[in-house]
Structure 1
Amino acid sequence: MKEIDYSNLKATPEIEDFSGKYENTSFISKYLVDSYFKSVDKLILKANKIESAHEIGAGEGRSTMRLRKTIPNLTASEYVDHLVELAKRNNPSSTIFQESVYSLKYQNSSVDLVFLLEVLEHLDFPEVALAEIKRVSKKYLILGVPREPLWRFLNMCRFKYLNHLGNTPGHLNHWSQKSLINLIEKNFGKVVAVESPIPWTIVLAEKKSIDK
């Protein structure tokens, strides 16, 4: 069987537009997004001695702006060209660069905490991505995905994507809280804390050392 060169894989097909993802000004949307980042902040506080952190899949950098309030020295990356430039404009004092989640630029065990927020559900090879994140992470991962089947149910309640049974275009993978924890513990390390802001699951995981 021919071996796949994952370093050349595209992280996200350019079929989706994530711009404005965190900018919806409706009361409900703003409340949900605020709850999401409050949950992320709670998980950050449970991680010990964080001196370096890196966000993968930053999009246009709106999430980076939020995360920097808690971790000022955060670096970030994005795969799609034009989104990298937008992220840089939105975070002029931060180091932001282009990379694929399948081929990260950091050295082995060089970043205390890695963020992967609303990215994993878009990937063709989530296990490969987690293995690469495990390589560069020194200790922690904070990862967030839509909570299924709640995500699709809520989409249908607002008459969105009915032809796809509520599935958001571009969502290739779907996890309940239990299945997400199983995936992360198999491919990264132990899940030490979970937050469940509607309609997401966000986890803090501690890297499993090689000798465990």
Structure 2
Amino acid sequence: MNTKKTEVFQPEGNYYDKYHSTNPIVKWMMKGFMNSIRELLEATEIRFQQVCETGCGEGEITSFIKKLYPEAEIDAFDISRKVITEARERIKDINFYIGNIYTMEVYNGGGTRVLAENKYDLVVCSEVLEHLEDPEQALKNIKELCNENGFILLSVPKEPIWRICNMARGKYWKDLGNTPGHIQHWTKKKFCRMVVNNDMKIVSVKTPFPWTMVLAKKG
């Protein structure tokens, strides 16, 4: 795998628990987000057997996909030891690891290994790329995890709507609405262009407010 050296820094993302928010607007947004995941995956008419989520956070998306495909074997990793510990305690039928998207090295207490290339028929990377200094290297690594017919599900905040929404609710005015830790910003068009430029073929695009969500395959 054409990974970067292990000294490349992968920052931790934001772990605000929007999935269990009682705010009606946030609940509406998350319902649209999860429905878009389901619709994109079900449209493939494939029963995914080998799944990997990179930057899985609290494991909410991982768990959602497991409910859609209970027969699937799922590996999921995140750079944060804290959220992986919490995910392991809550969700028992998924293989959770501490890991780095730049190296694809994962650790589960029994040692470190590199995730296998060409193994997975679905790789998920949701709300991760905007935190990375080198998102294109991450995309290359994600692509190499997929088998020949594998799918890649990506989502990022849709700009400038994301920052406008933050400012509308009085957040992050000093940073013009930019969420702390977001160092990459894409419109729908620019994000899709980056995906295609990294030798992926876009299958479908959805825009659950306020995200861009792309289902792609190897080019």
Same fold by TM (over 0.5)? Answer: yes
Query: What's the C-alpha RMSD, in Å, of the aligned pairs?
Result: 1.6
TM-score normalized with structure 2 length: 0.87
Describe the SS at the equivalent of 2:11: coil
What is the deviation of 1:10?
3.0
* Residue in 1 that maps onto 2:108: none
Q: Deviations over 1:118-154 (max 9, x none)?
A: 1110111101000111111122110000000010111
Total equivalences in the alignment: 203
What is the deviation of 1:91?
1.0
Query: Given the alignment of the two structures, is residue 127 of structure 1 paired with residue 136 of structure 2, yes or no?
Result: yes
* Residue in 1 that maps onto 2:40: 43
Instruction: Indicate if the aligned counterparts of 2:158 and 2:186 stay in contact, CA closer than 8 A.
Output: yes
Q: Which of these residues, 128, 139, 146, is aligned with residue 137 of structure 1?
A: 146
CA distance in 1, matches of 2:206, 2:129: 17
Instruction: Indicate if the aligned counterparts of 2:18 and 2:26 stay in contact, CA closer than 8 A.
Output: no
Query: 36-45 vs 58-67, which deviates more?
Result: 58-67
CA distance in 1, matches of 2:196, 2:4: 24
Cα gap change, 1:202 to 1:17, in 2 (>3 Å): closer
Q: Which of these residues, 172, 187, 205, is aligned with residue 161 of structure 1?
A: 172
* Residue in 1 that maps onto 2:67: 69
Q: Which of these residues, 192, 198, 203, is aligned with residue 181 of structure 1?
A: 192
Describe the SS at the equivalent of 2:68: coil
Query: 122-131 vs 53-62, which deviates more?
Result: 53-62
* Residue in 2 that maps onto 1:59: 57
Cα gap change, 1:71 to 1:19, in 2 (>3 Å): farther
Unaligned runs of 5+ in 2: 105-113
Amino acid paired to 1:117 = S
Query: 72-81 vs 109-118, which deviates more?
Result: 72-81
What is the deviation of 1:17?
4.5
What is the deviation of 1:65?
2.1
* Residue in 2 that maps onto 1:9: 8
Alignment of 1:93-108 (within 5 A): 93-104=93-104, 105-108=114-117
Unaligned runs of 5+ in 1: none
Cα gap change, 1:83 to 1:10, in 2 (>3 Å): farther
CA distance in 2, matches of 1:99, 1:53: 16
Q: Percentage identity across aligned positions? A: 33
TM-score normalized with structure 1 length: 0.90
What is the deviation of 1:63?
2.5
CA distance in 2, matches of 1:54, 1:21: 22
Describe the SS at the equivalent of 2:20: coil
What is the deviation of 1:5?
4.2
CA distance in 1, matches of 2:154, 2:146: 13
What is the deviation of 1:46?
2.6
CA distance in 1, matches of 2:4, 2:214: 29
Q: Deviations over 1:79-108 (max 9, x none)?
A: 111111111112112111111011223222
